[in-house]
Amino acid sequence: MGTAASPFLHPIAAELEAVGAKPTAKVLSRRARQRRQIQAMIATSYIVDSLVLLLYAHAGTIPDTIGPAFAACGFASIAFYLVLSETGFTERFHDHYFVAPQLIVSVAIMLAFTYIAPEAGVMFLSTLFVVFNFGSLRSTPRQTALVWTATALGLAALFLLTDKPISMPHGSYLERVATMSVFVLTLGRCMFLGIFSSSMRRSLYANGLKLREAYRRIEELAELDELTGSFNRRCIMRMLDDEITRAHTVNTPCSIALIDLDWFKRINDAYGHPTGDEVLRTFAITVFANIRGIDRFGRYGGEEFLLVLPDTPNEAGARILDRLRAIIADLDWSAFSPGLRVTISAGVATLAPDETSDTFLARADSALYAAKARGRNRIASALS
């Protein structure tokens, strides 16, 4: 395989395809197309190497039949692999590119022709570097060890069990040109594969950054209520537990408020659920715009919301909620639908010593119930 076919052997895509369910028809078609592209590059490389062998033949170094025979062996291996690929046989295997088998066949061809035409052995042995460079882009450690072992045994047999005079032809000017071409082409291929490997690392790094950003976004979405953009119940409850622990540890005040949109079911019934959704979104946006950076606001359920107020005693908490109540009541809700009016009621509670989240929320809920009982559109504070 004296080829630079590896640009089409995309390791990232291959790994992604290896995970999950049975590949779709689209994926199978793309894989087959990539395999054909790889084999086209391999064929091109065999042609280039055969032309170098023709230079050696013209210089009288090797018989004229070596170049065509080398190309024929290469094309035969390509044709065999394409048959396996086009019939779908390779799809039965995890490595549908058949990297290790192709590497072993390539090594076998190079070693065989080193034995057959040792006068131009430098070309075949040099191409082994390209073969291994190619294999390093996609081979697993086990595949690499297998190919390396097979190659080592083949080289040992060639050098230790035969007396073939493996040569680097340079006697004539044409031989020097051919040998120079061998090294230039080998170095060029190895450099190209190195550049490709570097670009793959950069691509992998960039993809890793995108993946981390996607995970961050997923985690963010998992914490937010889809409709209002506020924290969902699970998240706001976790934040409440964290704040209770902090308040008990450093002995600072902490208040919470359970907020309910007054007569929200009537709004849905009278103006429709789309208008109700817009009311919830506008309410949440208004709250976010009028609370501190340390405060935490989340949807507790339905039209009920929880506001966590760190470092806030009861009186300050009540003032904050009354200001929010006035802001909500003064909004021009008729922009959504003529005659629409929205108000809120809230129950405020301040954390007691050694109090748990359950009793803390229960007191805030009792205060909210009291605010509703007094006519709504008002704030009530819980008893300590």
CATH number of the structural domain spanning residue 266: 3.30.70.270
**pLDDT of amino acid 256:** 96
User: 210 and 252: one domain?
Assistant: no
Phi then psi for residue 319, to 5 deg, are -65, -40
Q: Per the domain annotation, does 253 fall within a domain?
A: yes
Phi then psi for residue 243, to 5 deg, are -70, -35
First-residue to last-residue Cα distance in the chain: 82
Q: Per the domain annotation, does 225 fall within a domain?
A: no
Residue 148 in tokens = 């390396």
User: 203 and 245: one domain?
Assistant: no
Nearest to 265 by CA among 279, 276, 254, 250: 276
Percent of the chain with pLDDT over 90: 62
User: 186 and 321: one domain?
Assistant: no
pLDDT, one tens digit per residue, over 195-211 is 877 777 787 788 788 88
**pLDDT of amino acid 190:** 83
User: 209 and 250: one domain?
Assistant: no
Q: Per the domain annotation, does 1 fall within a domain?
A: no
Containing domain of residue 373, as a range? 233-381
Query: Looking at residues 67-76, what average pLDDT do you find?
Result: 94
pLDDT, one tens digit per residue, over 242-256 is 999 999 999 999 999
Query: Looking at residues 44-53, what average pLDDT do you find?
Result: 90
**pLDDT of amino acid 3:** 41
**pLDDT of amino acid 5:** 39
| Helix%, strand%, coil% for the chain, nearest 5 | 65, 10, 25
User: 200 and 255: one domain?
Assistant: no
**pLDDT of amino acid 4:** 38
Q: Per the domain annotation, does 179 fall within a domain?
A: yes
Whole-number CA gyration radius for the chain: 37
Amino acid, res. 225: D
**pLDDT of amino acid 15:** 44
Per-residue CA distances from 37 to 5, 27, 40, 82, 270 (Å): 8, 15, 5, 11, 64
User: 208 and 274: one domain?
Assistant: no
- Among residues 220, 253, 286, the one where a domain terminates is 220
Strand partners, 113: none
- Would you place residue 132 in the very low, low, confident or very high pLDDT band (cuts 50, 70, 90)? confident
Strand order in the sheet with 296-301: 296-301, 304-310, 254-261, 344-350, 379-381
Q: Per the domain annotation, does 125 fall within a domain?
A: yes
**pLDDT of amino acid 250:** 93
In angstroms, the CA 265 to CA 259 distance is: 15
Question: For 227, what's the count of Cα atoms within 13 Å in the CB-facing half-sphere?
Answer: 19
Q: Which residues of 13-32 are buried (b: 16+ CB within 10 A; e: fewer)?
A: ebeeeeeeeeeeeeeeeebb
Kindly tell me if the per-residue pLDDT of 18 is higher than 60: no
Kindly tell me if the per-residue pLDDT of 118 is higher than 90: yes
Report the SS3 class of residue 256. strand
Q: Per the domain annotation, does 27 fall within a domain?
A: yes
- Among residues 175, 199, 220, the one where a domain terminates is 220
Query: Looking at residues 114-143, what average pLDDT do you find?
Result: 88
User: 157 and 271: one domain?
Assistant: no
Report the SS3 class of residue 349. strand
**pLDDT of amino acid 276:** 93
User: 152 and 204: one domain?
Assistant: yes
Q: Per the domain annotation, does 288 fall within a domain?
A: yes
Give the orientation angle of helix 264-271 with respect to helix 273-289, to 10 degrees: 130
- Would you place residue 26 in the very low, low, confident or very high pLDDT band (cuts 50, 70, 90)? confident
User: 305 and 185: one domain?
Assistant: no
**pLDDT of amino acid 97:** 81
Spatial CB neighbours of 53, under 8 Å, sequence gap ≥ 6 = 62, 66, 67, 70, 117, 120, 123
In angstroms, the CA 283 to CA 285 distance is: 6
User: 179 and 276: one domain?
Assistant: no
**Total number of domains in the chain:** 2
Residue keyed to tokens 């190309």: 71
Residue 100 in tokens = 């290790």
Output the average pLDDT for the chain. 88
- Among residues 163, 195, 220, the one where a domain terminates is 220
| Residue of 334 and 9 predicted with greater confidence | 334
Q: Per the domain annotation, does 166 fall within a domain?
A: yes
pLDDT, one tens digit per residue, over 74-103 is 999 999 999 998 888 888 888 888 888 889
User: 23 and 162: one domain?
Assistant: yes
User: 183 and 261: one domain?
Assistant: no
**pLDDT of amino acid 384:** 63
